[in-house]
Chain A
Amino acid sequence: MEFIYYFGDVFSPLSFMLLLGGTIGGLILGATPGLSPTMAVALLIPFTFQLEAAQGLILLGAAYTSTVAGGAVSAILLKIPGAPANIATTLDGHTMAKKGQGAKALQLSFLASAVGGVFGVLLLIFLTPVLSDWALAFGPSHLFWLAILGVTVIGSLDSASVVKGLLSGCIGLWLATIGFDDIMGAQRFIFHPSLGGGINIIAALIGLFAIPQVLTMFAKGRQVDGAEVIEVQKHSVLAATRELIRWPRALTIGTLTGSIIGLIPGVGGQIAGLVAYDQSKKFSPEKDKFGTGHPEGVIAAESANNAMVGPSLVPLLTLSIPGSPTAAVLLGGLLIHGIFPGTDLFDNHPDVAWTFINSMLIGQVLMCIFGLYVAGLAARVAQVPQSVMAAVVLSLSVFGAYSVQSSMGDVYVMACLGLGMFFLERFGFSAAPLVLGLILGPIAEANFTQGSMIANATVGQASYFFSGPLNLFLIFVVIASIAYSVWMELRSRRTTTKEEALA
């Protein structure tokens, strides 16, 4: 209960100002395409040079919390996922916005974020010692199986055709191998200088999701006024809260999945949203509605995203190991003030540690309040005429892709992937499994290589990858997930043939 003692520090005038500033700034940065939470936090580090350690961390903590949630704004309104965390949000969120329910989608996403986020931070406060052991339990073999588990999600993520979904995933896995091999340093598939650095995940995300949408708008041509302008439905916060309570399953699955996955160093943040989305789809009685603007999809994805924030800091705060890129940047923010995370942090600087954690707790609430306000304003975007929208999304994509690492190469890669994806999408391929392949490929490969090296030096491959309770458990889940997809495919095939026969 030590954390309550330090609550007062968060509410001192300067701290609270920083908290407000960090939250609002974070929402804006998060909503900007191309700026992932990691980059947003890195951008804020210079501002903390002048501040006290605790105050600097309040700024960073608030920014981290709200950039993750802010990414939902561009994901829902423009179909540009600002970071891998927001991919799953685009699937139902943007469809809702197209139906005129942009305000509702945004409200749901911010409310779900707040619920997930608060739960995640509470986990961080109460269970940190237990969780840090759990974070260390995942070695190369387990991370490998976890990545494979992610790959099996691909089959069910794409509703149109399982084969094309898997093929899209394969294309993604291949795209991820382009560039220098991370361990050996060998060059692979570099057929153009722009690919020398590999395919940047943020640039790829922008291209794969935003560009097909721009081209689709072009393809609709010059439409006569009024034909396509959607009426924006006003949606009250109260109604959104009621809506959120209507879907307890999605909220629970999202929050729990996000918290558990967020804890695993090196994997968590990027796939939490997608895995939660997939899980709540599997457990939902209204599976078919997913992808057509179903509130459950948005709730699961966004609650998972923010639930991951708290647990993802456990390895950093207890063991001094940054478990995610954003945690690594936060580590820098601590070191600049001469504070070493680990036991030192909680023993000698409890004021810094707890103020930081508390600020994330309060930050979640502030983020929700401002987010709901933004939702009211931003939903008007759907009223913007299509011609303007297409031009805005295209320009934002170019700027976003460029600003990731000031590279024209990333812009070219973004445009090429987007162009390819547009045509592939017209023929039943889809972007979500492709992106999942792109994210999971490097995780699977690096852990497989590293695991094999350890295995060869010690117990041998077979017993390294196939023994131990955690390995066996993960393998079991992988098999169950594949079996489930096959079963669903067979069942849907049977029903469709029946329908076809009737027709």
Chain B
Amino acid sequence: MSRTQHIIPSGIVFLVGCWVAWISFTQQPVEAFLFPRMISMVFVALAGWTFAKALLGKSKVGLGLSRTMVINLAPGLLVMLVYVFWAAKGLGFYTATAGAFFILLSLYDPASHSDIKTWVKRGIITAVFVAVMYGLFAQLLSVYTPREVLF
């Protein structure tokens, strides 16, 4: 695994640590930021240590990311982001879940896309799953989730 790969995450963590320390030592009232100050000092020290190790190329722990992984991950991640940050509220929970579920199944199911049977199967699995979720959350637990399109 390349050194750059380790530098980026540890660099981000180090920057976050610095930001936390900056906020903790500048914001008022002092009493409320006493504890964050204590944490941020340890945070910055440990993050600095990790960052330095990554710069020197001495970071060995962790599996890193490979090119194939990123390519595989991208479509699923995109669906997840759209589902969580827009569709769940924009389309309503159950509609969005049905959509996202079906798309994810189609994206990652190894079965052939040309066979009509696989599509029917995916549709049935989606329908059953959404029905179970509706029964569990809407009926049994009476959680009122956002509803926009359909149900």
Does A associate with B in a complex? yes
User: Smallest Cβ distance from A155 to chain B, in angstroms?
Assistant: 11
Q: Does A461 make an interface contact (CB < 8 A)?
A: no
Which A residues lie within 8 Å of B75 (CB)?
Answer: 218
- For residue A398, CB closer than 8 A to chain B, the reply is yes
User: Which residue of the partner chain, among A184, A225, A424, A449, contacts B9 with CB atoms under 8 Å?
Assistant: A424
The reply to whether B43 and A171 form a contact with Cβ atoms under 8 Å apart is yes
Interface residue total, chain A, C-beta cutoff 8 A: 63
Q: Are A406 and B47 in contact (CB under 8 A)?
A: no
Closest chain A residue, CB of each to CB of B98: A395
- The smallest beta-carbon distance between A212 and chain B, in angstroms, is 11
A334 on the B face (CB < 8 A): no
Against B, the Cβ 8 Å flags (1 = close, 0 = not) of A29-59 are 1001001000000010000000000000000
A113 to B104, CA, bound (A): 36
On whether the beta carbons of B46 and A167 are closer than 8 Å, the reply is: yes
Q: Is A21 interfacial (CB 8 A cutoff)? A: no
A-B contact count (CB 8 A): 185
Which residues of A have CB within 8 Å of B10? 427
The smallest beta-carbon distance between B143 and chain A, in angstroms, is: 4
Would A415 and B80 count as touching, CB distance under 8 A? yes
Complex CA gap A444/B42 in Å reads 15
- Among A173, A396, A412, A448, contact of B84 (Cβ-Cβ < 8 Å): A412
Residues of A within 8 A of B144 (CB): 406
> Any chain B CB within 8 A of the CB of A221?
yes
Is residue B36 within 8 Å, beta carbon to beta carbon, of the partner chain?
yes
A449 to B36, CA, bound (A): 12
Please tell me which stretch of A156-164, A237-245, A339-347 contacts chain B, meaning at least 4 of its Cβ atoms lie within 8 angstroms of it. A156-164
Chief secondary structure at chain B's binding surface: helix
Instruction: Kindly state the separation between the CA atoms of A429 and B105 in the bound complex, as whole angstroms.
Output: 30
Chain A residues 170 to 216 lying within 8 A of chain B, measured CB to CB, are 170-171, 173-174, 177, 181, 183-184, 186, 188-189, 214-215
B69 and A219 form a contact (CB under 8 A)? yes
Report how far A411 CA is from B42 CA in the complex, Å: 30
Residues 385-423 of A, flagged 1 when their CB comes within 8 A of B and 0 if not, give 111101110111011001100101001100100000001
Interface string of A329-344 (1 = CB under 8 A from B): 0000000000000000
* With A219-B69, A425-B62: A408-B31 Cβ-Cβ less than 8 Å: no
Complex contacts, B35 vs chain A, CB 8 Å: 177, 441, 444-445, 448-449
* Interface flags, B86-123, vs A, CB<8A=1, else 0: 00110001000100110011011111000000000000
Which residue of chain B has its CB nearest to the CB of A400? B137
For B20, the chain A residues whose CB sits under 8 A away are: 174, 189
Encode B12-40 as 1/0 by CB contact (under 8 A) with A: 01001100100100011101111110011
A129 at the binding interface (Cβ < 8 Å): no
State in angstroms the CA–CA spacing of A426 and B64 once bound together: 5
Which chain A residues border B42 with CB–CB below 8 Å? 166, 170
- The answer to whether B97 and A398 have CB atoms under 8 Å apart is yes
Task: Pick from A173, A186, A219, A394: contact of B72, CB below 8 A.
Answer: A219
A174 with B36: CB separation less than 8 A: yes
Pair A32/B29 contact, Cβ less than 8 Å = no
Q: A408 and B146 in contact (CB under 8 A), knowing A424-B9, A428-B61, A428-B62?
A: yes
What 1/0 flags go to A248-270 for Cβ under 8 Å of B? 00000000000000000000000
Residues from chain B with Cβ under 8 Å of A396 in the complex: 133
CA distance A415 to B36 in the complex (A): 24
Contact at B109–A387, with CB atoms within 8 Å?
yes
Q: A170-B43, A188-B36, A219-B69 are in contact. Are A412 and B83 (CB under 8 A)?
A: no
A395 touches B101 (CB 8 A): yes
Residue A223 CB within 8 A of the other chain? yes
B50 touches A163 (CB 8 A): yes
Interface flag for A224 (CB, 8 Å): yes
Considering only CB atoms, which chain A residue lies closest to B34 in the complex?
A: A449
Q: How far is the CB of A32 from chain B (nearest CB, A)?
A: 7
Any A CB within 8 A of the CB of B149: no
**Complex partner residue of B100 from A177, A225, A387, A395, CB under 8 angstroms:** A395
Contact A426 B65 (CB under 8 A): yes
Are B59 and A219 touching (Cβ within 8 A)? no
Cβ A391 vs Cβ B101 within 8 A: yes
Q: Do residues A391 and B136 form an inter-chain contact, with CB atoms below 8 A?
A: no
B77 interfacial contact with A, CB 8 Å: yes
Measured CB to CB, the closest approach of chain A to B26, in angstroms, equals 12
CA distance A388 to B73 in the complex (A): 15
Q: How far is the CB of B29 from chain A (nearest CB, A)?
A: 6
Q: Is the CB of B105 within 8 A of A215?
A: no
With CB as the reference atom, state the residue of chain A lying closest to B146: A408
Ordered by A's residue number, 14 sampled pairs between the chains whose C-beta atoms are within 8 Å are: A32-B136, A170-B42, A173-B43, A218-B76, A221-B71, A391-B101, A392-B129, A395-B129, A406-B143, A415-B85, A423-B9, A426-B62, A426-B63, A427-B9
Give chain B's interface residues, CB within 8 Å of chain A.
5-6, 9-10, 13, 16-17, 20, 23, 27-29, 31-36, 39-40, 42-43, 46-47, 49-50, 53, 59, 61-65, 68-73, 75-77, 80-81, 83-85, 88-89, 93, 97, 100-101, 104-105, 107-111, 125, 129, 133, 136-137, 141, 143-146
The 4 closest A-B pairs by CB, nearest first: A428-B61, A218-B76, A221-B72, A428-B62
Extra contacts besides A163-B46, A214-B80 (10): CB < 8 Å: A32-B136, A167-B50, A183-B32, A221-B72, A402-B145, A403-B141, A415-B81, A426-B62, A426-B63, A448-B35
